[in-house]
Amino acid sequence: MPIKRVLIAAVLAAILVPAADARKSAPAPSDLVAAAQAQVEQGTADPVRDLQPLLDGLAAASDDGAKQKFVDAIEEIGAADGTSPAAVKAWLLEHAPPLLLDVARSQAGWSLRGDALMALRALDAPDAVLDEAIAIARADTSESKSYIRSRGALLEDWKDNRTRGGAASTAARPSDAQAEQHALELLRSRSVGVSSDSLTDAIGKSRADVVEALLDAGVDVNGPGRAGMRAFDSGLMVACANNNHPTLQLETLDVLFRRGVNLGAKDERGNTVLMTAVQSCPLAVVEKLVAGGAEVDPVNAQQFTPLKLALVSGHWDIADFLAGKGARISAREADQLFFEKPQDPAQLAVLKRAIRPGK
């Protein structure tokens, strides 16, 4: 072989072999995802080291399969109600939306584009980002426009519900990173996400350890729950309706009291947690609330008080307790509550005790 040809072959080999080695050594999407997930679960994730490669990989990927892996990972790791550390969620919420929007407006397959739109919902993206995503979906003219537009409609409905529910700022805000990590480990072992809904469920099941973990993970002890109620109020209502063991309910209340739950908060109709409790909770829970500082005789928008609600609910032991704490109704109010006065001597004695002297 002539020397010139040998030299050319050597030069080509020097150029092509490193390039081939580089392609061979480039981490696969699944490896990048697994590495990021491991660091997140260990509480040692560094955004630049562990999360940025996911975003870079999504931006550089040329096929839908690779892009799908990155979109799925971003959604799972960054989910607002997931068990990633709050700092990880916040970083992805800040940096991932532009790339997800790029996927949504690209020529990628309908499934991938739809998943990119839905990932924005999982991240609890701000209104401005959702508005852009909705506009992209509405403007779609591809063969799959019906599907893409349906994703946009889902985002719009979800955004509207979030606004009406007042839940636009419910991101977890842990105060101690070490306590957060321990809490997340427990929550993962119980398959519990970090959200106000999870707090409602944990209170409703009287699971004091899960309640503590959720609060350590940064869920607001006074945050909104369902149906316009706080997680605390709606969870307590469920716990009492399900007749959870009183000891478990009291242990859960101890955690909530220690973590600063507001017993004087009122909903838009002026109802307090005590008003909820007197209708379905055992006496021990009502006593605990009052001992913790709940106002005994507040009045709601319909002019009901805890004492009135206990009486009309037939909870005479609770009515007697409230009367003993100074709650009173007028004789006229008693007549309005009862078409016929109770005949049971013990109940009649409670009612008489509860009626304020004079007119």
What is the rounded distance in angstroms from the CA atom of residue 233 to the CA atom of residue 265? Answer: 10
Contact 49, 38 (CB under 8 A): no
Q: Tell me how far apart the alpha carbons of residues 126 and 96 are, in angstroms, rounded to a whole number.
A: 12
Q: Domains of the chain: which residue ranges? A: 22-164, 179-262, 265-359
3-state class of 329 per DSSP?
strand
Write the DSSP symbol of residue 294: -
Alpha carbon distance 23, 29 (integer Å): 13
Residues 240/253, Cβ–Cβ less than 8 Å: no
Structure tokens, 268: 């838009």
Q: Report the chain's C-alpha Rg in angstroms.
A: 29
Nearest to 104 by CA among 64, 137, 126, 128: 137
Cα separation values, 40 from 207, 250, 306, Å:
26, 34, 47
Q: Are 263 and 285 in contact (CB under 8 A)?
A: no
One digit per residue, pLDDT tens: the chain, 359 residues?
455 554 445 544 555 555 555 455 678 999 999 999 999 999 999 999 999 999 999 999 999 999 999 999 999 999 999 999 999 999 999 999 999 999 999 999 999 999 999 999 999 999 999 999 999 999 999 999 999 999 999 999 999 988 776 554 567 899 899 999 999 999 999 999 999 999 999 999 999 999 999 999 999 999 988 777 899 999 999 999 999 999 999 999 999 999 999 999 999 899 999 999 999 999 999 999 999 999 999 999 999 999 999 999 999 999 999 999 999 999 999 999 988 888 899 999 999 999 998 75
CATH superfamily of 265-359: Ankyrin repeat-containing domain (1.25.40.20)
- Distance between CA atoms of residues 70 and 343, nearest Å: 71
Beta bridge partners of 224: 230
Distances (CA, A) of 158 to 121, 165, 199: 8, 10, 21
Q: Is 170 helix (H, G, I), strand (E, B) or coil?
A: coil
DSSP bridge pairs for 230: 224
Give the whole-angstrom CA distance, residue 304 versus residue 100: 51
- For 1-13, give the DSSP string: --HHHHHHHHHHH
Nearest-angstrom CA–CA distance, 154 and 146:
12
Cα(18)–Cα(9) distance, integer angstroms = 14
